[in-house]
Structures are given as C-alpha cells and as structure tokens.
Amino acid sequence: MTEWDDVAVVPVAGQRFVELPASGWGAFVGYAAGIGRMVRCADVAARQTVTSVHDRTGRLVAVESRPSTPEERTGVEDDIDEYLALIGIPPRPRGFLWFLLLPDRLAEQDFWTAIFAKWHHGGQPTADWLPDLRRIVEPLYET
C-alpha cells in the first residue's frame, strides 16, 4: 500500500477539481501538491488515440482518431510509473482518472502557468525534483 491508496475514490470530481494530464508530469504535480488535495474516479470512459499526420514541411495534413487499445492504455500507465520512479515516487494504482483541487484564487490555466513560470528543470527527472516542485506548488494554496 502506498500514499496513492489514500486518495479518495469518488463517483465524480467536484467543480474545483481539475483532471490531471495522463502523463508522468501530471502525476508528479498531483503528488507534489499533496495526496489530500486529490481525488480519483474509476476510468470507465472510452479513450481515444489521436494521430496527427504532417507533410515534410511540418504542415498538418490529417488528424485521425480511434479508440485506444488496452495495450496502449497499459503503455501510458507504464510510462507514468517509469517517470515517477525516476523521482522516487511509487507507482499509482491503475484504472483511475486523477483530479487535483485547484487553489481557491486560481483558474486552471493560471495554476499551470504559475508552475511553469518557476519550473526550470529539464532533461531526465531526478529525486531532487520533488522538493523543488513542492516549493513552487505549496505557496499557490496559501490564502
């Protein structure tokens, strides 16, 4: 059992919650913000895989959408677990959508903008990233 197991399972997230991106970065931000600020819902929706086709000049020529396969979803979860492991964070339980409570005074775009404005790491994630992100995120929740 990990801290992730303490995240409440709810049928639907409330209005002040924003769905975290299905990526290592999204999971990392949620974890850094705090387990007590997240909820999760069973992921029962049909997911789509979107493919963009570009020509040699980079111009978008087609967008294709199709239902994701179970193997693709497993691959996404594996990638998230791998990213978290590089930072020293345990893997999340699978089969959920993850939501984070927004700070009272911030809209979703403002929340992400505030994080990116102060985030200066690049390259491969490391264990020192977690305290750095917590120092950025925590003040956003102070009133």
pLDDT tens-digit readout, 83-136 = 999 999 999 999 899 999 999 999 999 999 999 999 998 888 999 999 999 999
Residue in the structure block whose two tokens are 């997911």: 47
Show Cβ contacts of residue 67 under 8 Å, excluding neighbours closer than 6 positions.
Answer: 46, 47, 48, 49
**Chain centre to alpha carbon of residue 107:** 17
Could you tell me the pTM of the whole model? Answer: 0.82
Using a 10 angstrom Cβ sphere, with 0-12 exposed, 13-18 middle and 19 or more buried, the burial of residue 120 is: exposed
* Residue 9: strand pairing partners: 40
